[in-house]
Structure 1
Amino acid sequence: MQLRNCLALGAMLSIFSVQLLATQTPLSNAQKQTATQLMQTALESKLGMEIVTSLTTEIGPRLGGSEAEARARDWGVELGKRLGFDKAQIEEFTMPFWQRGKLHIALTSPYQQELYGTALGGAAPTQEKITADIVYFRDIHALADVKDGALKGKIAFVDGDLMVKSQTGAGYGQANQRRRIGWQHAQRGGALGLVVRSVGSDSHRFPHSGMMSKDGDKWASIPVIAISNPDADHLRRLHNLDTPLTISLHSESKWQGDVSSGNVVLDLIGSEKPEEIVLIGGHLDSWDLGTGAVDDGAGIAITTAAAALIAKLPKRPKRTIRVVMFGAEEVGLLGAFAYAKQHEANLTNHVLATESDFGAQTIWQLESNVNPQATLLIDEIAKILSPLGIVRGRSDAPGGGPDIIPMAAKGVPTIRLNQNGHDYFDLHHTPDDTLDKINPAELAQNIAAYAASIYLIADSDVELKP
């Protein structure tokens, strides 16, 4: 009987403990009020637009490893100093530099017609102008079935379908296979070159660039060109008429050897736990067809402006807030891997990481990948963000953004403030990625969400790691 009473009492205490935990909040009223005020200030501020306007206008396109990317790093350090960061520095790394050069591509049979194309990152040049018959493949799967040597003396063309517009960018991964690995099958088949349908959701005659994948440690030894979606549609219609097609192309894209790149690191030193780092950022480089406003000047502006607003508070948050402007993301996450390697011994002190790199439209969802106790903190943050139109998403969502991948793989917890990507793949890697595509009010909503959430995490005592 005594044992039964003890067990019953223990059960009651367990239930009471669970109920108490459920009613406890990891945030004080003062922290909530500060976060709300940060949101309001961000919505009224023009700082984000000033930053992205400065970057895209004063620096322009910023291909990874280029002289322009180097100027952008200096710009980032000066910006950090002007906005009141406690530390602003460049962490250099070495990278191979691929340069686009000039390109001419045209349909020559059954008639002459200029095509709108762009070389894909990592592609080889033509030694001289190539004119050859096209071998049509409906999709990447058809090309993957080609026999070795079957394309000798030909140019392969891989078609596909226009990406469907979606909030999350679903479909990009599969469509992107023709860009990333198509060259491996075309080269195995002996093709003189490869032409692919651009990976994008637009119907403009703007080709989408992007990086190809290596085959082990080897890059393509043939030219690889993406053509605009309307031009790809045109080639398909001609193919369906059983019309023999011939293309001429001349491309000067090639590797230029090793150069220096780097990450810009801006710190707001924590007031109580300076060794603990909450890392946010975007990537500083861009493709060279537009000015990189949406991808990813917006991300640089969002995260830098959010931290700058926090810097104006009367007191620094407890933990250090670090903004990283990652270098050379577009050409293989090179800055991200360099950062993870350079800070490997200190990654245990990185309590959270996240990146803005999906355009400039509004944030609609907050996802996380932290421990169960810390999930309560993220749930509370989601409630504070809800007036911005942001809903709580998964609490077991790995990621944090492309440049966060190497850190997340080492166990760094992440959140992701998911943006509406409905128009992202209209603009992504094209000449249309320019400043006019950014809506100032939507950019401000992003900054408001980042400022509030990052302040609350940085000022918290909650352990986020599993």
Structure 2
Amino acid sequence: MRAISTVLGTKVLGTGLAASLLLALSAPAGAQTRIPEQAVDTATQLRETALASDLGYRITESLTTEVGPRLAGSEADARAVEWAKAKFEALGYDKVWLEPVTFPKWVRRSESGQVVGRHAQPLTLTALGGSPGGTVEAEVVRFADLAALQAAPAGSLAGKIAFIDYRMERARDGSGYGPGSRVRSGGPSAAIRAGAAGYLMRSAGTDSHRNPHTGITRFDDGLEPIPAAALSVPDADQLTRLLALGKPVTVRMALDCGWDGEATSHNVIGEITGSSRPQEVVLIGGHLDSWDLGTGAVDDGAGVGLTMAAGKLIGDLPTAPARTIRVVAFANEEQGLWGGKAYAEKYAEEVRRHQIAAESDFGAGRIYAISTGAPEYAQDAVKQIAEVLAPLGIEYAGDAGGPGPDISPFAAQGLAWARLAQDGSDYFDLHHTPDDTFDKIDPAALAQNVAAYAVFAYLAASAEGDFGSGVQADGATDGK
């Protein structure tokens, strides 16, 4: 890793800052953005170096093995923060620091479910994040989807358990998750309005294994929360078959979980200092926390590991790119984007300094496309990046998609975003389940991700001109 030389003191750094400010004055936002050919040549070599490296895989292995599951606010979450800080330092990042993030703390202690009565048998379920504890034994009423439950008359489910049996669709881009996650977030409140004492749902997942999918839920203001859980897909099928027999089915669900005060975790940040415009930032990252059922490998240990590795490989180059590379391991994404919101709030006045950002939070599958919300004047530069990524099987996709979860609060303030779209065909087989473990990661696919992020970050940091951060938000240009 390139070390910061002692000669890079106030005088030299100040000269770089002055030059950058002069450039900003002489090349206003909106000028055509391009990437120098020398940077393209360097990025091509960087791509091959990254493809041959197993660094991202080893970093992900370290996190998931040495820390394991990292429920936000837990003791393991605190260990993950220390791990990330130490890992950035061991990788030779020029600057490493922590930024506190405070949020409500939710804990899971135990959970069980079973059919009682004539067809007594166990059910595999898991409490949804945010659910209160409690034991409910009641008749189950099935609904095909969220809309059907929302249409149930007030009081019609008094003393019963509402069960939404919506089957999520598999898709490479994960588009089936939207309807599935709305069942999780909106179902409990709809059940309460109908008078239910408890809530069950078919897991928001695409697998057929006896692994329930957890995830955060919400209760609308003014409603008294009820125990809420997700059934594994085979158990949801089993419950549906029992209900199809035409007789009442009673389920007992016992959840020991709930909110337990507040906790403080941290966004962990590492930087590779830019060579001539160090105050300007290209941001990449993933989220450090995970749910507690698996070891958080695809969600999102891989995102942390591959972006850490990408930054490290850029730092190993003889000369850093013009701008600073900032890698962020965000705190508590799973329970409400707490780290992303804290970052956006802290740097709200510095959106123009952040040239562009990309987040890896969709597993460890191969990247197949790059897209960005950057304005038209920056799209030629994005196409240059896409050309270097093309040998990795990555195509230019215009402005398709949107920003990653943790950068979305900052993107709403005008941050330019890029999307390196991963193949998520099997992501929701593992997502939020006990099966989200390190053995599910393909080393070659992860190396391809590292190569893509290294190329993207290096070239974006080397670009002459901007990617529209803050420009469209304040009306300086019409953008695309």
TM-score, with length taken from structure 2:
0.89
1:267-287 CA distances to partner (integer Å, 9 max, x unpaired)?
111111111111100000000
1:92-131 superposed matches below 5 A: 92-126=100-134, 129-131=135-137
CA contact (8 A) 2:33 2:378 kept: no
CA contact (8 A) 2:188 2:219 kept: no
Q: Report the CA distance between 1:25 and its aligned residue.
A: 9.0
Q: Which residue of 1 aligns with 2:254?
A: 250
Provide closer, same or farther for how the CA distance between residues 219 and 299 of structure 1 changes in structure 2, counting only shifts above 3 A. farther
Which one of the candidate residues 62, 67, 73 is aligned to 2:75? 67
Does residue 1:159 correspond to 2:165, yes or no?
A: yes
Partner SS state of residue 275, structure 2: coil
Q: Which residue of 1 aligns with 2:370?
A: 366
Q: Report the CA distance between 1:425 and its aligned residue.
A: 0.4
CA contact (8 A) 2:183 2:201 kept: yes
Which one of the candidate residues 278, 281, 292 is aligned to 1:277? 281
1:170-185 superposed matches below 5 A: 170-185=175-190
Partner SS state of residue 201, structure 1: coil
Bigger Cα displacement from structure 2, 135-144 vs 114-123: 135-144
CA contact (8 A) 2:284 2:328 kept: yes
Aligned equivalents of 2:118 and 2:193: distance in 1?
Answer: 28
Aligned equivalents of 1:426 and 1:398: distance in 2?
Answer: 22
Aligned equivalents of 2:272 and 2:143: distance in 1?
Answer: 53
1:28-52 CA distances to partner (integer Å, 9 max, x unpaired)?
3321221011111111111111100
Q: Report the CA distance between 1:214 and its aligned residue.
A: 4.0
CA contact (8 A) 2:36 2:462 kept: no
Amino acid across the alignment from 2:407: I
Aligned equivalents of 2:218 and 2:387: distance in 1?
Answer: 41
1:321-367 CA distances to partner (integer Å, 9 max, x unpaired)?
10000000000101000111111122221110110010001000000
Provide closer, same or farther for how the CA distance between residues 165 and 174 of structure 1 changes in structure 2, counting only shifts above 3 A. same
Does residue 1:261 correspond to 2:261, yes or no?
A: no
Partner SS state of residue 226, structure 1: strand
Provide closer, same or farther for how the CA distance between residues 271 and 265 of structure 1 changes in structure 2, counting only shifts above 3 A. same
Aligned Cα RMSD in Å? Answer: 1.4
Partner SS state of residue 100, structure 1: strand
Aligned equivalents of 1:400 and 1:132: distance in 2?
Answer: 42
Q: Which residue of 2 aligns with 1:80?
A: 88
Partner SS state of residue 95, structure 1: strand
Q: Which residue of 2 aligns with 1:388?
A: 392
Amino acid across the alignment from 1:196: M
CA contact (8 A) 2:70 2:295 kept: yes
1:324-363 superposed matches below 5 A: 324-363=328-367
Aligned equivalents of 1:219 and 1:258: distance in 2?
Answer: 21
Q: Report the CA distance between 1:220 and its aligned residue.
A: 5.8
1:270-307 CA distances to partner (integer Å, 9 max, x unpaired)?
11111111110000000000000000000001111001
Q: Which residue of 2 aligns with 1:140?
A: 146
Aligned equivalents of 2:101 and 2:300: distance in 1?
Answer: 20
Q: Report the CA distance between 1:254 and its aligned residue.
A: 0.6
Q: Report the CA distance between 1:177 and its aligned residue.
A: 1.6
Which one of the candidate residues 448, 457, 460 is aligned to 2:460? 457
Which one of the candidate residues 194, 202, 209 is aligned to 1:197? 202
Q: Report the CA distance between 1:111 and its aligned residue.
A: 1.5
Aligned equivalents of 2:245 and 2:118: distance in 1?
Answer: 11
CA contact (8 A) 1:213 1:219 kept: no
Partner SS state of residue 109, structure 2: coil
1:189-228 superposed matches below 5 A: 189-216=194-221, 221-228=225-232
Aligned equivalents of 1:154 and 1:442: distance in 2?
Answer: 46
CA contact (8 A) 1:61 1:288 kept: yes
Which one of the candidate residues 409, 419, 424 is aligned to 1:421? 424
Amino acid across the alignment from 1:349: R
CA contact (8 A) 2:290 2:334 kept: yes
Aligned equivalents of 2:377 and 2:338: distance in 1?
Answer: 33
Which one of the candidate residues 417, 437, 442 is aligned to 1:439? 442
1:48-81 CA distances to partner (integer Å, 9 max, x unpaired)?
1110000000000001111111111111111111
Q: Report the CA distance between 1:109 and its aligned residue.
A: 3.0
CA contact (8 A) 2:33 2:467 kept: no
Q: Which residue of 2 aligns with 1:299?
A: 303
Aligned equivalents of 1:220 and 1:157: distance in 2?
Answer: 18
1:396-445 CA distances to partner (integer Å, 9 max, x unpaired)?
34622011101110001111100000100000000000000000000000
Provide closer, same or farther for how the CA distance between residues 343 and 288 of structure 1 changes in structure 2, counting only shifts above 3 A. same
Partner SS state of residue 414, structure 2: coil
Which one of the candidate residues 231, 245, 248 is aligned to 1:241? 245
Q: Unpaired segments of 5 or more residues in structure 2?
A: 1-31, 469-478
Q: Report the CA distance between 1:187 and its aligned residue.
A: 1.1
Provide closer, same or farther for how the CA distance between residues 439 and 220 of structure 1 changes in structure 2, counting only shifts above 3 A. farther
Q: Which residue of 2 aligns with 1:8?
A: none
CA contact (8 A) 2:101 2:331 kept: no
Partner SS state of residue 114, structure 2: strand
Q: Which residue of 1 aligns with 2:22?
A: none
Aligned equivalents of 1:433 and 1:332: distance in 2?
Answer: 20
Aligned equivalents of 1:65 and 1:219: distance in 2?
Answer: 25
Provide closer, same or farther for how the CA distance between residues 220 and 323 of structure 1 changes in structure 2, counting only shifts above 3 A. farther
Aligned equivalents of 2:34 and 2:351: distance in 1?
Answer: 24
Give % identity: 48
Aligned equivalents of 2:350 and 2:369: distance in 1?
Answer: 30
Bigger Cα displacement from structure 2, 268-277 vs 201-210: 268-277
Amino acid across the alignment from 2:155: G
Amino acid across the alignment from 2:137: T
Aligned equivalents of 1:400 and 1:318: distance in 2?
Answer: 24
Q: Unpaired segments of 5 or more residues in structure 1?
A: 1-23
